[in-house]
C-alpha cells in the first residue's frame, strides 16, 4: 500500500535514531521517514486516529494564554499526542523578545549533530524529506533544500548573540519526550497498527470482489482475441457492483470446459473480526485508553457515574504530561495554563 506521499508502508516502520554524516542530520527511523509513516497510519488506522484525537482533546483545555492562541494549543497537543513532541517557529525583534509563534509540522524537522557537550543546538527544516513533492515543478531535494535553524533557548544572552543584527532571525522550539527524537505512544504497537490497516484493506478487497476467493481458471487456449475476451468477461463479474451477474460459456467438447481451482476456500471474515479486535485493544492499551473500549462496547453499562469516573481517571493519568507541556510552553508564554477538563 502506498500513502498520499508515495511512501510504501506495507510493513510496520522501525524506529531508529542516529546521526547520518552523509545526510548531515540525525536519521529519524531506518529510512528517515518515521514521522511521515506515523502520519500515514493516522489517516488509515481508525483506532490510532481515535486514541490520538481523544488524548489531544484531554490535553488541550487551555486558559490564560496570550502569545499562543487556542488553535495553536490544539495543534501542539495533537502533535504531542501522536509523536510525543511538537515544533514551533519563533521570530524575534532586535532585543531578543519573541514576536510571533507558529506551530510547524513536526514531521518536517530533523535534528543536527550533538556537540562535544552532548547537546544538540540546531536542526533542519525540509518540506518533504521523502523527496517526492515538487515546488515550481522542481522536485524537492532534502540534501540541498533543507534549511538550518538554531534550536530555541530561553537564555536571552545566547539568543542575542545568535541574532546579532539579523532582523529576520528565527529559531525553532523542538520539544521531545526524549533527549533526541521522541518516543511515540504508537511505537510499541506499530505492528498492530499496520495489521489493522492490512485487515481493513483485506475486507475492502473482499467486498469489492463480492467475496470471490482467489482462484485459477484452467481452459483450452484458442486465439489471442478469444483469450482476451475470456479475461475481460471474467473481469466484468468482479466487484460489489457486479454481484449476481451471469456469464455464459459455450464450448464444442467437454475438453474445452473451463475448470475453476479455488486457492483460498476459507472464509476469513470471522478471523478478520477477531484480529481487528485484538489490534484495536492493543492500540487502545498503548494509549492507556482501554476503559473507553468498555464504554463503546457497552460492557461498562450506560450509567453516567461510571463513565464520569473513566473520564476523571484519564484526566488524572495525563496530569504529569499536561504539566510537562505547560512548563515547556511557559518559556514562551508565561500566562499559559493547561487545565484538566472538569467532568464533575
For range 163-179, the mean pLDDT:
91
List, for residues 267-303, the tens digit of each pLDDT value.
Answer: 667 778 889 999 999 999 999 999 999 887 777 766 6
All three cell numbers of 196: 489493522
Per-residue pLDDT for 17 more than 90? no
pLDDT value for 136: 83
Q: Per residue in 139-149, pLDDT tens?
A: 999 989 999 99
Chain mean pLDDT for the chain: 83
Give yes or no for residue 194 having a pLDDT over 90. yes
Instruction: List pLDDT tens digits, range 298-318.
Output: 777 666 788 888 989 999 999
Residue 343 — left, alpha, or beta (φ > 0 → left; ψ -120 to 50 → alpha)? alpha
Q: Quick check: 120 pLDDT over 60?
A: yes
pLDDT at 77: 95
Q: What is the pLDDT of residue 27?
A: 94
47/304: higher pLDDT: 47
Residue 35 has pLDDT above 70, yes or no: yes
Mean predicted confidence (pLDDT) in 4-13: 55
Provide the pLDDT for residue 111: 97
* Confidence band of 134 (pLDDT split at 50, 70, 90): confident
pLDDT at 338 over 90: no
Give residue 201's pLDDT. 83
* 342, pLDDT greater than 90: no
Amino acid at each position: 500500500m502506498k500513502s498520499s506521499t508515495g511512501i510504501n508502508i506495507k510493513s510496520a516502520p522501525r524506529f531508529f535514531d542516529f546521526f547520518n554524516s552523509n545526510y548531515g542530520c540525525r536519521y529519524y527511523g531506518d529510512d528517515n521517514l518515521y514521522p511521515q509513516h506515523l502520519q500515514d497510519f493516522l489517516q488509515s488506522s481508525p483506532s490510532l486516529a481515535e486514541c490520538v484525537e481523544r488524548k489531544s482533546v484531554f490535553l488541550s483545555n487551555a486558559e490564560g494564554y496570550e502569545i499562543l492562541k487556542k488553535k495553536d494549543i490544539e495543534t501542539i497537543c495533537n502533535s504531542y499526542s501522536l509523536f510525543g513532541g511538537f515544533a514551533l517557529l519563533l521570530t524575534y525583534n532586535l532585543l531578543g523578545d519573541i514576536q510571533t509563534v507558529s506551530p510547524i509540522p513536526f514531521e518536517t524537522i530533523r535534528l543536527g549533530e550533538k556537540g562535544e557537550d552532548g547537546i544538540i543546538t540546531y536542526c533542519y527544516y525540509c518540506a518533504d524529506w521523502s523527496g517526492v513533492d515538487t515546488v515550481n515543478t522542481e522536485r524537492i531535494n532534502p540534501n540541498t533544500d533543507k534549511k538550518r535553524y538554531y534550536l530555541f533557548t530561553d537564555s536571552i544572552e545566547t539568543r542575542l548573540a545568535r541574532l546579532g543584527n539579523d532582523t529576520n532571525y528565527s529559531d525553532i522550539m523542538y520539544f521531545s519526550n526524549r533527549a533526541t527524537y521522541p518516543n511515540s505512544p504508537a511505537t510499541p504497537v506499530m505492528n498492530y497498527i499496520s495489521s489493522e490497516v492490512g485487515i481493513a484493506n483485506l475486507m475492502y478487497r473482499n467486498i469489492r470482489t463480492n467475496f470471490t476467493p482467489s482462484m485459477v481458471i484452467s481452459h483450452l487456449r484458442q486465439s489471442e482475441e478469444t483469450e482476451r475476451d475470456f479475461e475481460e468477461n471474467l473481469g466484468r463479474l468482479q466487484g460489489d457492483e457486479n454481484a449476481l451477474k451471469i456469464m455464459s460459456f459455450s464450448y464444442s467438447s467437454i475438453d474445452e470446459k473451463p475448470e475453476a481451482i479455488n486457492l483460498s476456500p476459507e472464509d476469513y471474515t470471522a478471523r478478520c473480526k477477531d484480529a481487528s479486535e485484538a489490534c484495536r485493544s492493543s492500540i487502545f492499551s498503548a494509549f492507556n485508553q482501554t476503559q473507553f473500549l468498555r464504554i463503546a462496547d457497552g460492557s461498562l453499562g450506560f450509567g453516567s457515574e461510571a463513565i464520569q469516573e473513566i473520564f476523571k481517571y484519564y484526566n488524572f493519568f495525563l496530569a504529569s504530561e499536561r504539566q510537562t507541556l505547560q512548563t515547556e510552553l511557559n518559556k514562551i508564554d508565561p500566562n499559559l495554563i493547561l487545565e484538566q477538563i472538569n467532568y464533575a
